[in-house]
A and B are shown apart, each in its own frame.
Chain A
C-alpha cells in the first residue's frame, strides 16, 4: 500500500473543501518571501560590521577629524565618510557601527534571558494549570502593569549606568511578555491528544514540557523574540535620548547629540536615526514573516469567484439542474479540481443522496450550487440552475434572492451554523424579514409554527432562548426551521447528522424526510455514510475523485451496484448480518489527488478488477439512463449501461 498518498486527510470535518489542498502537497515548504530575506540581510550586515569593526577598514569612532583632518567638521555624507562627520569631525558611520554593539548585545542578552525564563514560566503555567496557573497569571498581569521605566530610572540613580544593570532590568521587564504568549500557546497545545498520549505512555511532566510542548512553541517564541528584540532597541534608544545612555556611543545618544544641530546639519542626527529605524523595522519584519510559518491562515489565497463557459440549460421543470460542472480551486500548490464534470438534476419532491468519502468533492458540489467557498480563489464552469435561475451568471441580486427564498441549507454542525449571541427567534425570522414583505408579528407567528413543525417542545419559550441553551438535536431542528422559513423549493443538507448521536440522527433524518415529502421539496442529502441514504432518498449519486461515478435509484444502487468503487463501499460498511470478528472488505490505498487526477478511471489504482485500459482511458457512460456508472469492467451480470 502506498504510504504517502496525497488527497487523504481522513478527518470528517467541514474542512473537507480544504482537505485536498492540504493533502495535495503534504511536504510543502511555506515560503518566507523577499521581505524576510531583505530584513535578515540587513540584520546580518549589522551584526557583521559590529563584530568585525576592528579588522574592517572603518575609522576609529572617537578619532577627532578636526585634529587628524581626515573628516571635516559637519562633513556631509559622501565618498570620504558615507555617514558624514559630526561637530568634531568624527566619522558618523564608524560611530553608528560602534553604537550597534551596545544595541545588539543588550538586545540579544535580554531576548535570550527574558525569552528562556519567560517561556519556562509560561509553559509550566500553561501545562500544569490549576493553582500554579492562577498565581502565575496574576503575577504576569501585575508585572505588565508595572511601569518599567520608572524602575529603571530609580535603579540607575542607585547603581549607575552599567550594562549589567540594564540587562537585568530589561530582562526582568521582558519576562512577563514572553510568559504570557507561551502560556497561551501551551494551554492550547496541552489540550491536543498527543499530550495526553505522552502522559498515557508514562512520560513525566518534565518530559512532556521539554519534548512535547517546547518544540511546538519554539517557532512562535522565536518569532516573538525578534519583535521583542526590536522593542529592546527602541527602549534603549528612548532612554539614551533622555540622557540615560548606558554608553558614550549608543544610537539613542548619537541621535540626542545630533539633535541640537538638526536645523543646519541634519545628517548628524538623521543618519543614526535612519539606521536605528531600519534595524527596528527589519527585526519586526523578520518576526512577522516567521509567523507565516506556523500560522498558515496568514498566507491564505485571496477570495475570488470566477465563472467559466456555460453548458446546456435545463428544460425548466427541474428545481436543480447541474450540467457539466467543473469547480477548480486555485491554490499556491496548483489547481484543485474539486468538481470535475458533474451533471445532476432534481425535480420537485425528489431526494438525492450524494455519497462520498472525505476529499471526494461531494461537499464542493453543494458549495458550487450556492457559491460559498471559504478563503478560496475559485472558478466554476458549466451550468448550475436553481428554479430556473442561473446561479453562476445571473445578476447578483437575483442570485441573492434565489439563495434567500428558493434554497434552504442545513449544515453539519448546528452550533457553528447558529449565531451564539442572538435569540433563536431573531435567527428564524431574519430570512423572512429580509426576503419577504412579512411584518415582524407575522414573522413571529410563522416562526412559532415552524418550531412546532420541526418538533421543538415548548416553542414559545425556546424562541426566547440562545443556541447554547439547546441540545445538539434541538439546535439542528432550529437550523432546519430557519432553512424552511421561506418555503424553499430546494433543501441542501450537508452531513446534517454527522455531529449528532445515533438516536438523534434517526429523529433528524425522519424529520427531514417527512418535511421534504410533505412540502414536495427537492432535497440533496450529502453524506459519507451510505446507510443514511437508504430509506431517505429516491436516488443516489456516488462521488469519487471529483466525479459522479455511479448514479441510480437508491434501491438499485444497493441491490445491484455496478461500479467497483460502489461495490467496495457497500461491502466495507460494517454489516449487522455478518458474524462479529469476520473480516471486513477494505479498499486498499487512498483516493486520487485532485491536483493531478489520473488520466483513466479515477479508481483504477485501487480497483481489484482494473486492467490496462482503466489506466489510460476514462470510461464513458450514458448519463441519460436511469442507472449509470463509469466503469470499464462493471460488477453484476448484465453488461448494459456502460455505453
Chain B
C-alpha cells in the first residue's frame, strides 16, 4: 500500500528542488507541477478503495498518537487530495502557455507550494499542523495574487494579506487556548476530551478558530478580500483560488466543527450564515459588469450553498455539500480558464467586450457556457445532481424552516441563472461593434485543459451515482466522531 504522506512529501521535495532545476535550465521548472500533480493523482486514486473501507492513520516519526503528529487519510481527505491534484494538473497544463511573463520560475514554485499546503490541510490530524499547512497555503496565495505586479494586483494582495493575517492570528489564538485547556494538539485527543470543560471555555476557542478559518473559506462577513483578490490575480490563479483554496478553508471549518468540537449547537447559526452568504454573493454578482468579479462573487454564493448543505448535518446533505464542492471546483475552474483567454483576446474584463465572442473563439466560448450551465445546475452537467441532492436533503428534513430557507437559496440560484445566461447571451447573440469577426483559437494546451474539465463535468453529470455513493461514505466520515477518535487513538 502507498503511504498517504507521499502526497505531501513528494510535491514538497520537488518544490524545494525547483531552484536547482532552474539552475540546469530555466525552461524545466514549469513542467515540475505537472509531474507532482500527476503523481499525487495516481497515489490518491490508488488510496481511495483502501480508505473507503477504513481510514489510514499515518504516524509521523513512528511514535503513537497523541504523542506524534498523525495524518488522517479518510475518504474526505483522500478525495480532497485527489481533487486538488486533478485541478492542479489541469490548471498547470493551462499555465504552461498562459504564464509567459514575469518571474515564471517563482510562479511555478509558489503554485506547487500552494497545492502542498492545501493537501496538508486536508490530510492532517493535528490542529497545529493544520495551522502550519494553512499558512503555506495562504502565504503562497498572497504572493500569487500580486504576480502581475500591477497596481490592482498589489492592492488586492495587500488587502488579502492583512485580512488573512488577522484570520491566522485568531486561528493561532484559538489553537493556543485549546492547547491550554487540554494539553494536546491531536484532533482526536481534543475531540475525546472536549466534554471535560465548561461550554463557555470551549466556545471561545471555537469562535476564534471558526472566524480565523472563515476568512479563507470566504463565509459571509469575512469575505471582503475575495472579489478583489480573485479578479486581479492571473486567471490560472483565480481558478485555483476559487476552485481549491476556499474549499480547503471550508473543509478545515467543517472538520473543526464536526469532528474536533462536535458543536451541534451552532448548526442553526451556520444555516442562516449560509443562506445570507448565498444571497449576498449572488446579488452582488448580478450587479457586476466585470466578468472576473462576477465569477468571484458567484464563488461566494456557491460557498454559501455548500455551507447551507453542511449545516443541515445529515448524511445526505453532507454528501450533497461535498458533491456541490466538486461541482464548484470543476466548473469554476473551467469558467476562469475560459474567461482568461477571452479576456486575453478582447483585452478587457468588461462583460460587454465579450459580445460576439461565440464567433471569434468558438471552443473557448463553448467551454465557458458548459461551466456556466453546470454552476447554475442544468442537466446533463455535474451541477444538476449535486444541487438536486441538496434540495432533496432539505426537503427530507420536513420542517417549515428548512423549506423556507431552501426557498431563499433557490432564489439565489435563480439570480445566478439570470447573470450567467446574460453573459452566455452576450457571447452568442450580441454582435461585436468594432472588430471584424475573425476566428481564432486559444493555444492548444489551454484548450486541452478546458476539454478535460468539460468532459469531466458532462461525464459525472450523466453518471453521478458512483460519485454520490463514494461521497455518502465520505459524509459519514465527517459525521461519525466516535469512529474518528477510535481509529486514531486505538
Does B associate with A?
A: no
